[in-house]
Amino acid sequence: MTSPFIELFFGLWRNPTKQTYLFIGGSQDCLNILVAPDVDVVQLPASVTGKDNYLAAKLAVDDVSINVYRHDSLTSEQVLDLFVNHYKTRAVNRHGGRR
């Protein structure tokens, strides 16, 4: 089994028109997955027979933004809550982080 970094590198090398996007929620939470540009909905496997829909979204602060894909069950408020909670968890659990 190859590492995700190697798969990502060779995936970008073979198809430079795709880039990775962060997926939020569902079974693909926190993964970076290659997606063609200008895709509004991505359907990914959720289980043996199930599928999850991820919707394109833009996260912005002032004039800077990133594109992400959020699980269709999440509202915009829930996505922001997940970001804040992941950030807090990282800050607490890093070496020398707050306790």
Task: Give the pLDDT confidence of 33-87 residue by residue, as tens digits.
Answer: 888 878 899 998 887 788 999 999 988 889 988 888 999 999 989 988 988 888 8
d(CA 20, CA 11): 10
Which one is predicted more confidently, 18 or 93?
A: 93
d(CA 72, CA 7): 27
Side chain identity at residue 45, one-letter code? P
With beta carbons less than 8 A apart as the criterion, state whether 80 and 60 touch. Answer: no
- Listed in sequence order, the DSSP H helices in the chain are 4-14, 76-93
Per-residue pLDDT, averaged over 7-15, amounts to 51
d(CA 86, CA 95): 16
pTM of the predicted model over 0.85? no
